[in-house]
Amino acid sequence: MNGKGILDGVRVLGIEQQVAAPYCTMMLADQGAEVIKVERAGSGDSAREMAPILKNGENTTSGYFMRFNRNKKSVTVDFSKPEGIEILKGLIAKSDIIVENFKPGMMEKFKLGYDVIREINPKGVYVAISGFGRLPKKQGPFAKRTAYDIVAQAMGGLMHLAGQVDGPPTWLGVAIGDVGTGVFAANAALLGYIKALKTGQGEFIDVAMYDCMIALAERAHNVYSFTGKILSRGPDPLICPWGPFEAKDGYVALIVPTQAMWVKFCKAIKREDLINEELDSGPKRAAKINMLMPIIKEWMADKTKNEVCEILMAEGLPCGPVQNSQDVFNCPHVKAREMFVTIPDTVMGEVTVVGSPYKLDGEEPIYGAVPQLGADNDEILSQLLKYDENKIAELKTKKVI
């Protein structure tokens, strides 16, 4: 264990805003990559102004921004000025991976499309995140649309699956359109980096939020491809029991996917009479859901969530209580897994945030502070790009940085 992370020595340039690209680069930073976050001079990433706003005396900081930007360096650049574009070109030339999620066409507007990036840095891996994709040979009719998380969830099929059977489609409650895309993008960035190591050639990687949500909703889309059936909200037509069921003090999530597990479930609730040919498959049980639901509800009604889980787990059945954030925060297993970590912060002193889900035997994640806007301008320009003091002072006077 070197204490620097497995990606120590890898430089990532994040020309990024909001969530998807910042989450991607944060995952790389957690594993030791040097991440230089490029922000607009003056205003910075618009995420810096979003709630929750944390206060320490007269000083404030954005908890929203904090969620996706730990352990990075912040450089401010005015994209509209030639000197700002020269700074970007210099940073691109010095980076192994470039991650960007600006509005489609914006990089081309600044004459920084992949053709230019490839000329500046032939080994550079350019990960372009957008709502609907940018690769010219695979460009669809939605290519120029912008997308937010809720749009990607809706169009990718996830919202159609979430909610009650007679209710409207429902946002999943997590920004999976953004965060999920960020995870896919981080994986893609490392694939590109491996290619560059093996061949000496970089890569353009097109990551679309729409594509990522389709991939996450693969079960529904594959079922339609296989059978022509459209999965929707409400009870599942293929597996039963499956879902949250109400206990005395909350809900328990359980799934009974096989006949062997159905036998165990019937024994657990002391209803061996339900082990018969009419209920010997998931689809058959799903067709009898109106008969089975009252039985399961009655069995759980006088038991706590933990009591239900103990009985079912004693038979080897998968189940778990439905937990809120307080439950998760105080869970002893989560503590053992170190999923909440403390990081230093300029304003708050220190804050507790959700940590990396990766657990490596030989390496530990790197958890650094969230950068103040433009805090690393002097360091990056002088040490990495070799600008002298006079040139940096001139850039500040012209408000390029």
Residues with a catalytic annotation lie at 178
Whether the CB-CB separation of 77 and 84 falls below 8 Å is answered with yes
Token pair, residue 362, equals 């030989």
Please name the amino acid found at residue 22: P
The answer to whether the CB of 181 falls within 8 A of the CB of 207 is yes
Pairing between strand 250-255 and 242-247? antiparallel
Phi, psi of 109 (to 5 degrees): -60, -40
DSSP string, 5-18: -TTTT-EEEEE--S
- For residue 69, give the 3-state DSSP assignment: coil
As a three-state string, the secondary structure of 324-378 is CHHHHHCCHHHHHCCCEEEEEECCCEEEEEECCCCCCCCCCCCCCCCCCCCCCHH
**What amino acid is encoded at 52 in this protein?**
P
Q: What is the DSSP letter of 206?
A: E
Nearest to 173 by CA among 158, 157, 156: 158
Q: Are 320 and 255 in contact (CB under 8 A)?
A: no
Q: Are the C-beta atoms of residues 162 and 176 closer than 8 Å to each other?
A: no
Distance CA 38, CA 374 (A): 9
How far apart CA 174 and CA 154 sit, in angstroms, is: 13
- 185 CB burial (10 A radius; 0-12, 13-18, 19+): buried
Cβ atoms of 110 and 85 within 8 Å: the answer is: yes
Question: Do 172 and 158 meet the contact criterion of CB atoms below 8 Å apart?
Answer: yes
Alpha-carbon separation of residue 400 from 39, 46, 82, 106, 316 (angstroms): 11, 18, 9, 18, 63
CA angle 42, 22, 123 (to 5 degrees): 100
Cis peptide before 52 (omega within 30 of 0): yes
